[in-house]
């Protein structure tokens, strides 16, 4: 039986993440090896020509699952009937630029896109915001889409999650596949808190296995939290292939489910769990099943973790207040 293609909209399609992302979506990594996709590429007018070039390359791959590509600079066209929307297009942070500077620059992009999603997307729309500041951009888009269930707007902290797994595996000499139940809490920023107190390495508690609070506080947490800045410093541009990979992971897990006994990290609208004010788009440990996610409940939060979660959530509340003042939510 031929399946109906899933409409996947990618904004910022001509950018560096777009280039690393589109080929993997078209080859079946986003949704599954048996799911045909139709791509809609949204760009600003200056990006349309480059997006058309990428579309030519996509054609040249003759991907069996790719059933069409449309390129537009009109959000109302791009999100028409969209089932999955990857909001990547934004202004990347460049050397020396603070994330706060990005709020005003990028906020304006996400309000009209949220409205277009509200007015035109399919009923089952799932939105992942990658463009920074991702959590607050997701909040802006969500606020402009009152008819879409709030939980469909998510922000990407999967890259942080993957980075934390990789650092923990290197420290302990274990395989990344042995690491489960790691959590990123809070904002996709330098205040984020990668939490290993509930994580497991080959079934054993990760914090007990590491048994080194100095490494945790002074090496692990800052390395993960500042990895984005370190990559900008090294490459002269923000992470692209690893960000695209994390976007693929985020949506694939959301749609296809977490493995038994494991969870992932997603930036999602808070329901008030773990003391995070309702409505803030903050990263939590979540399990996913049948295209829906649930926050993992009942985790004991020690003082070390509490202070760090609170600090990141405080930053999110400040970003929310700033965009409220700008009239963006």
What are the residue numbers of the active site? 188
Q: Which does 207 bind (CB under 5 to 8 A by kind): ligand NAD, ligand LMR, none?
A: none
Q: Which is nearer to ligand NAD, 16 or 253 (CB)?
A: 16
Instruction: Work out how close the CB of 89 gets to ligand NAD at its nearest, in angstroms, rounded to a whole number.
Output: 3
17: contact with ligand NAD by CB under 6 A:
yes
Q: CB within 8 A of 211, min separation 6: which ones? A: none
Q: Which does 86 bind (CB under 5 to 8 A by kind): ligand LMR, ligand NAD, none?
A: none
CB 197 within 8 A of CB 207: yes
Handedness of CA 32, 252, 126, 260 (dihedral sign): positive
Q: Which is nearer to ligand LMR, 79 or 193 (CB)?
A: 193
Q: Which does 16 bind (CB under 5 to 8 A by kind): ligand LMR, ligand NAD, none?
A: ligand NAD
Instruction: Work out how close the CB of 184 gets to ligand LMR at its nearest, in angstroms, rounded to a whole number.
Output: 11
Instruction: Work out how close the CB of 228 gets to ligand LMR at its nearest, in angstroms, rounded to a whole number.
Output: 3
Please state the length of the chain. 329
CB 239 within 8 A of CB 231: yes
Binding residues: 12-18, 93, 99, 106, 113, 130-132, 163
For the window 161-200, what string marks contact with ligand NAD as x by the rule CB under 6 A?
---------------------------x------------
Work out which of 143, 238, 264, 283 binds ligand NAD, going by CB under 6 A. 238
Single out the segment in contact with ligand NAD by CB under 6 A; choices: 25-33, 238-246, 257-265, 289-297: 238-246
CB 233 within 8 A of CB 227: no
Whether residue 25 has a cis bond before it, omega within 30° of 0: no
Work out which of 7, 10, 15, 320 binds ligand NAD, going by CB under 6 A. 15
Binding residues for substrate: 93, 99, 132, 163
DSSP 238-303: ---HHHHHHHHHHHHHHHH-PPTT--EEEEEE--SGGGPPTT-EEEEEEEEETTEEEEPP-----H
Q: Which does 296 bind (CB under 5 to 8 A by kind): ligand LMR, ligand NAD, none?
A: none
CB 90 within 8 A of CB 109: yes
Measured CA to CA, the distance from residue 266 to residue 258 in angstroms comes to 12
43: contact with ligand NAD by CB under 6 A:
yes
Bridge partners (DSSP) listed for residue 41: 10, 71
Position with the least CB separation from ligand NAD: 15
- Give CA separation, 247 vs 31, 155, 200, 294, in Å: 11, 10, 24, 19
Chain position carrying tokens 């997603």: 266
89: contact with ligand NAD by CB under 6 A:
yes
For the window 93-132, what string marks contact with ligand NAD as x by the rule CB under 6 A?
x---------------x--------------------xxx
Composition of the chain by helix, strand, coil, percent to 5: 45, 20, 35
The contact set with ligand LMR (CB under 6 A) reads: 92-93, 132, 159, 228, 231, 238-239, 243
Instruction: Work out how close the CB of 195 gets to ligand LMR at its nearest, in angstroms, rounded to a whole number.
Output: 18
Kind and range of the H or E element at 8? strand 6-11
Binding region for ligand NAD (CB under 6 A): 11-12, 14-18, 42-44, 47, 88-90, 92-93, 109, 130-132, 134, 156, 159, 188, 238-240, 243
């Amino acid at each position: 039986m031929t399946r109906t293609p899933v409409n996947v909209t990618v904004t910022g399609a001509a950018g560096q993440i777009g280039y690393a992302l589109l080929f993997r979506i078209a080859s079946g990594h986003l949704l599954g090896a048996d799911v045909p996709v139709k791509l809609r590429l949204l760009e600003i007018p200056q990006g349309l020509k480059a997006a058309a070039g990428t579309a030519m390359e996509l054609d040249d791959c003759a991907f069996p699952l790719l059933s069409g590509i449309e390129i537009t600079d009109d959000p109302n066209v791009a999100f028409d009937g969209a089932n999955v929307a990857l909001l990547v297009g934004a202004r990347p942070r460049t050397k020396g630029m603070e994330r706060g500077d990005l709020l005003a620059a990028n906020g304006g992009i996400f309000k009209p896109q949220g409205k277009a999603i509200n007015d035109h997307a399919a009923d089952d729309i799932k939105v992942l915001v990658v463009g920074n500041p991702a959590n607050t951009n997701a909040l802006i888009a969500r606020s402009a889409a009152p008819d879409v269930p709030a939980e469909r707007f998510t922000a990407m902290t999967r890259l942080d999650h993957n980075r934390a797994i990789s650092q923990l595996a290197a420290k302990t000499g274990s395989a990344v596949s042995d690491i489960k139940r790691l959590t990123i809490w809070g904002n996709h920023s330098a205040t984020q808190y990668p939490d290993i107190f509930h994580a497991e390495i080959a079934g054993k508690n990760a914090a007990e296995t590491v048994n080194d609070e100095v490494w945790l506080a002074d090496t692990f947490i800052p390395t993960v939290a500042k990895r984005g800045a370190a990559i900008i410093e090294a490459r002269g541009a923000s992470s692209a292939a690893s960000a695209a990979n994390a976007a693929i992971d985020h949506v694939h897990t959301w749609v296809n489910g977490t493995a038994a006994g494991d969870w992932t990290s997603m930036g999602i609208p808070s329901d008030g769990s773990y003391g995070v004010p309702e409505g803030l788009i903050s990263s939590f440990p979540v399990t996913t099943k049948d295209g829906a996610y649930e926050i993992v409940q009942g985790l004991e939060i020690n003082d070390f973790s509490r202070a760090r979660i609170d600090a990141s959530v405080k930053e999110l509340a400040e970003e929310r207040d700033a965009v409220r003042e700008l009239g963006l939510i």
